[in-house]
């Protein structure tokens, strides 16, 4: 009978370890990037509409309205979107929506870029009071660590507690990425979908809070002294670790 060679325990353990994967730590490390997609055809998904840069208590006069509503003119088969409406009596009204992003690395720094699709009926090249209804209403998007809310200052003016800049200029928490102008007849405007990409613009920096949460916001900063009704259809945000 042939003899069977016995493998010493130490040698066996060494052999097993030598065949184990070498990227175990890399596989369990938090990802360096995260993509978040929001399609308002699926409802609000914890997003809410809000407004800034108007006198407190004048919500009815400014005709401020926000919420999930069907898209007009049969766009996307009448799917829902985040509707934002306001009459800009102050010549400086910010219409926006905000929502949370969870699952980030607590305390980590991120660079954020946001692409979005909206629906607008503001004709390109039209003339308006204070500014054009299309080119004079700038689309902004940004990110913050804490929820970007609004409060009235000592003069009774409602302001955003994040730095979005003013009208055509961005701020520390938001960037101008486009405007509401679309190709539609001036005398009979219809709603059109408009895709706005972040492109080569510098990212907005943000730090995730202790629970791994950050906030996104996007909207329209108006210099047009008239009524704007726009719809946020969907957006995609890319978070890339910056630390």
Q: What is the tens place of the pLDDT at every residue in 112-135?
A: 999 999 999 999 999 887 788 989
Work out the pLDDT band at 141, boundaries 50, 70, 90. very high
**Mean pLDDT in residue range 143-148:** 98
- What pairs with residue 85 in β-bridges? 65, 229
Domain boundaries, the chain: 32-241
pLDDT, residue 174, reads: 98
pLDDT, residue 29, reads: 65
**Top-level CATH class of 32-241?**
mainly beta
Q: Provide the percentage of residues in the chain whose pLDDT is more than 70.
A: 88
Using alpha carbons, list the distances in angstroms from residue 38 to 93, 117, 149, 168: 24, 10, 20, 25
Q: Each residue of 79-111: pLDDT tens digit?
A: 999 999 999 998 889 999 999 999 999 999 999
Lowest-confidence segment of 86-90, 210-214, 238-242 by average pLDDT: 86-90
pLDDT, residue 149, reads: 98
pLDDT, residue 10, reads: 47
Q: To the nearest whole number, what is the mean pLDDT of the chain?
A: 90
């Amino acid at each position: 009978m042939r003899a069977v060679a016995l493998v010493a325990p130490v040698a066996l353990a060494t052999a097993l370890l030598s065949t184990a994967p070498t990227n175990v730590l890399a596989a369990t490390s938090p990802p360096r990037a995260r993509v978040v997609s929001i399609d308002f055809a699926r409802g609000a998904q914890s997003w809410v509409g809000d407004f800034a840069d108007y006198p407190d208590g004048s919500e009815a006069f400014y005709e401020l309205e926000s919420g999930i509503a069907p898209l007009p003119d049969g766009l996307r088969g009448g799917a829902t979107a985040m509707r934002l409406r306001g009459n800009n009596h102050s010549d400086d009204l910010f219409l926006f929506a905000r929502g949370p992003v969870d699952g980030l690395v607590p305390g980590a720094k991120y660079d954020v870029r946001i692409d979005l699709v909206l629906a607008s009926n503001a004709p390109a090249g039209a003339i308006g009071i204070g500014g054009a209804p299309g080119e004079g209403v700038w689309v902004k998007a940004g990110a913050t660590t804490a929820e970007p809310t609004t409060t009235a200052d000592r003069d009774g003016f409602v302001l955003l507690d994040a730095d979005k800049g003013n009208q055509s200029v961005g701020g520390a928490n938001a960037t101008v990425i486009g405007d509401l102008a679309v190709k539609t007849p001036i005398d009979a405007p219809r709603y059109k979908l408009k895709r706005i990409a972040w492109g080569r613009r510098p990212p907005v920096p943000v730090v995730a809070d202790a629970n791994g949460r950050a906030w996104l916001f996007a909207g329209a900063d108006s210099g047009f002294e008239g009524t704007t009704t726009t719809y946020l259809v969907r957006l995609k945000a890319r978070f890339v670790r910056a630390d």
